[in-house]
Every structure is written in C-alpha cells, then in structure tokens.
Structure 1
Amino acid sequence: MQTSTQPSAPYQNRTKKSPSVKIVLLIWILLIAAGITAAYLYSNHLKHEMLQQLQRDSRQQMNELKLSYEAKFEALSGEVKELESKVQSFNELLTFTKDNATSKTDNSNKLYTQLNEVKKQLSVLQQKMDLLK
C-alpha cells in the first residue's frame, strides 16, 4: 500500500468548485440587490410621475372651477345691477308720488273726479235731449 501525501483527483475537483460556487452566490446576491434597487428606483419614478399628473389635473380643475365661478359671478353681478336700477326707479317713483301727494294734488284729484261725473251727467242729458227731439 502506498500512501501519498498528494490529494486524490476527486478532492482536487471539489476545491476548484468551491470558489466558483462562492462567485456564483456572490453574483446572485448582486443581481438580487440590483433588482431590488431597480424596483425601488422605478417605484419612486412612477410615484413622481403620478404626483406630477395629479398636480396638472388639479390645476386644470381649479382653473375650470375658477372660470365657472367667475362666469356665475358676472351673471349675478348683472342681475344685481338690474335690481339696483329697478330699485332706483322705484325710489324715484315713490319720491315723485310723495312730492305730489299734497293737498293740492288731492284737490286736483277731487276736481278730476267731479269733472268725470259732470261729463257723465252731460252725456245722460244729451241722450235725454236726443230722445226729446
């Protein structure tokens, strides 16, 4: 029996495979870390894009709301101006009526009423005269 101090062939193959397994495991760990990092960066990119889109949409909606509000405000402002002019004319009419509501006006109203009664009586008399003819 001969004993040798050199390792046998199968043992030499195992030592050579051992470092390559370490390298493969290291590469796999690096790939996994790169994948996780890429996923994290991509999710941040998507989040950033989504926030920008939401900001654009909200600005657009705010502008539309502002335009709608301004249009309604203008319409209401026009209606208020119309009402103000009607109130002003009504106030002028009340002032005119108040100024003319004196005893002189009351007398002229009485005279007008009496004149209408006299006209009616004249027309009745005219009819009677026509019958007598």
Structure 2
Amino acid sequence: MVRTSKSNTANQTKAKPKGRARTYLFLFMVWSLLITGGLYGAKTYTDHLRQQITNQIAMQTEQQLMVVQKDYQKQIAALKDSVSGDLGKMQTKIDSLNELLAFTKDSANSKTDNSNQLYTQLAEVKMKLDDLKKNLDTLQ
C-alpha cells in the first residue's frame, strides 16, 4: 500500500499544476472580459456625450439663426419704409415739377431755355426714382 500512497501523492502534485493553469486561464479570461467591457462602456459613453454636444450646438445655432433672421427682417422692414417714404417725396417733387413745367410752358413763348432745363431736371428726377424702385425691388 505504500506504493499507492506514493502514486497518489505523485498524482496530486501533477494535478496542482493543471489546476493552477486552469485558474490562470480563468483569471485571464475574466480579466479580458473586464477590459473588453470597460472599453465598450467607454466607447458607448463617449458616443453618448458626442451626441449630446452635437444636439446642444445645433440648438444654439438654430437660436442664433432665428435672432439674426429677426434682426434682418426688422432692418429690411425699416429700409423698405424708408425707401417708400423717399419714393413718396420724389413723386411729390416730380408732380410739382410737372406742374411748374406745364405752367412755364404755357406762360413762356420765348423762354425755351428754362423749359429745357426743367425737362432735364425732370428726367434726372425720374432716373433717380427708377433707381430707387430697382433698389427696393432687389431688397424685396
């Protein structure tokens, strides 16, 4: 029986290195899973943060664009009112020049120089009025 006890002891000493190898393999697998899980979690978290930041920037940009658009619309409305007022004043001046021209034409037979000057001024005023209308059309 002594032999069996020696052989049992020999088997036990051989079994310990296999058990240690399995333990090391198990620990290595657990360690690998933990690292892989940590990397996956870190990637998922950074993707989540990136999406949140992108959404915040998009919202801020949209708000700023709305403010700029409102300001632009206010400026366009003010400019349109100003041009409309200027056009009204120019029309009044043109009408008064037309009346003056008609009066001058009717009353002066030999004063053709004055009449030509009035026609020239009237043409210049009409050109300016046309330019103002074009500018108003481009603004709209």
- Both proteins in one fold, TM over 0.5: yes
Give ranges in structure 1 of 5+ residues lacking alignment.
Answer: 107-133
Work out which of the residue numbers 64, 71, 75 in structure 2 matches 1:72: 75
Residue type at the aligned position of 1:73 = I
Distance 1:103 1:67 in 2: 53
Find the counterpart in structure 1 of residue 99 from structure 2: 96
Find the counterpart in structure 1 of residue 26 from structure 2: 23
Give ranges in structure 2 of 5+ residues lacking alignment.
Answer: 110-140
Displacement of 1:45 in angstroms is: 0.5
Distance 2:51 2:84 in 1: 49
Per-residue CA distance 1:62-95 (angstroms, 9 max, x = gap): 1011001001101101110111111111111111
Q: How does 1:1-133 map to 2 (within 5 A)?
A: 4-6=6-8, 7=10, 9-102=12-105, 104=107
Report the count of equivalent residues.
106
Distance 2:106 2:28 in 1: 117
Displacement of 1:103 in angstroms is: 5.1
Name which structure has the greater RCO, CA cutoff 8 Å, separation 6+: 2
Structure-1-length-normalised TM-score: 0.70
Distance 1:59 1:102 in 2: 62
Distance 1:103 1:14 in 2: 130
Displacement of 1:104 in angstroms is: 2.8
Cα 1:10–1:96, aligned 2, differ >3 Å: closer, same or farther? Answer: same
Identity across the alignment (%): 18
Ranges of 4+ aligned residues in structure 1 off by more than 3 Å: 2-6, 8-12
Larger radius of gyration: 1
Distance 1:40 1:5 in 2: 54
Pairwise CA RMSD of aligned residues? 2.2
Displacement of 1:10 in angstroms is: 4.1
